[in-house]
Structure 1
């Protein structure tokens, strides 16, 4: 281990003590990936697509806390707050102007649980089938026009 010099003390005084996995903490709203039960993207939070998954996770993990991205407008966080209050889960809005993350909300523990899959898919299978069906219908109409 090297000895600290004046620059190390100045940097620490200006920016605080460097935490392990700092980039990971910025991405996941101040927590580590290994502690997360469920992570929702900003788009999932804004469209309320992850609400059912979040509610189920809150039922299964009552000792967690909810971290929400402060860059998301407060009106989009109403449902998440309502669920947190319903299940007595503490929540915090994380306001970090220095980080650029696509994470909108994180349900997390204070200790590692190492859950393998923390994200829900952006598009579920039914939406994909509807898109494919619309494409097929469009192609059929296009063929009729040129027949």
Structure 2
């Protein structure tokens, strides 16, 4: 490993510390993809209910931290900050005006975990909702036919 010289100090002073995978860090609210236990999109965070998967990610991994996108109105974030307080984990609201990301919440480890799937499967959720609504529709039609 090279010893830092004057040029390195100048570069760090002008441009800041060199960062590994800056685009990935911007997307995942300051952390790396390999450390993510699970993530929600902005739209998912803005839904009324808290996803049970988020609670599960936290309860099964006590060394995690919650990162929340500060570009989302706090009224949507408050339910997750309360959950973090309730489950006694740290949370940070990340305000980065320069980074554009569709990620609203990240549950992250301090070390790499390399999970294959970090997103909640929306298609499964939509199928369940569709099944519920279609069963109601069928019951209604059956009721009218009587």
Shorter-chain TM band: 0.7 to 0.9
Q: How far, CA to CA, are the matches of 2:28 and 2:50 in structure 1?
A: 17
Query: 1:65–1:5: structure 2 CA closer, same or farther, 3 Å change rule?
Result: same
SS in 2 for 1:17: coil
SS in 2 for 1:107: strand
Give 4+ residue runs of structure 1 displaced > 6 Å after superposition.
Answer: none
* Residue 107 in structure 1 maps to residue 107 in structure 2: yes
Deviates more, 1:62-71 or 1:8-17: 8-17
- Contact 1:45/1:77 (CA < 8 Å) preserved in 2? yes
User: How far apart are residue 15 of structure 1 and its match?
Assistant: 3.5
Structure 1: gaps of 5 or more residues: 138-147
SS in 1 for 2:56: helix
- Contact 2:35/2:114 (CA < 8 Å) preserved in 1? yes
- Contact 2:65/2:108 (CA < 8 Å) preserved in 1? yes
Q: How far, CA to CA, are the matches of 2:37 and 2:47 in structure 1?
A: 20
Query: 1:45–1:120: structure 2 CA closer, same or farther, 3 Å change rule?
Result: same
SS in 1 for 2:84: helix
SS in 2 for 1:84: helix
Query: 1:49–1:33: structure 2 CA closer, same or farther, 3 Å change rule?
Result: farther
User: How far apart are residue 13 of structure 1 and its match?
Assistant: 2.5
User: How far apart are residue 130 of structure 1 and its match?
Assistant: 5.8
TM-score (norm 2): 0.78
Deviation readout 1:47-98 (Å, 9 max, x if unpaired):
1455211111111111100000010111101111111011110000111111
User: How far apart are residue 25 of structure 1 and its match?
Assistant: 0.4
Structure 2: gaps of 5 or more residues: 139-146
SS in 1 for 2:93: strand
- Contact 1:51/1:80 (CA < 8 Å) preserved in 2? no
* Residue 34 in structure 1 maps to residue 67 in structure 2: no
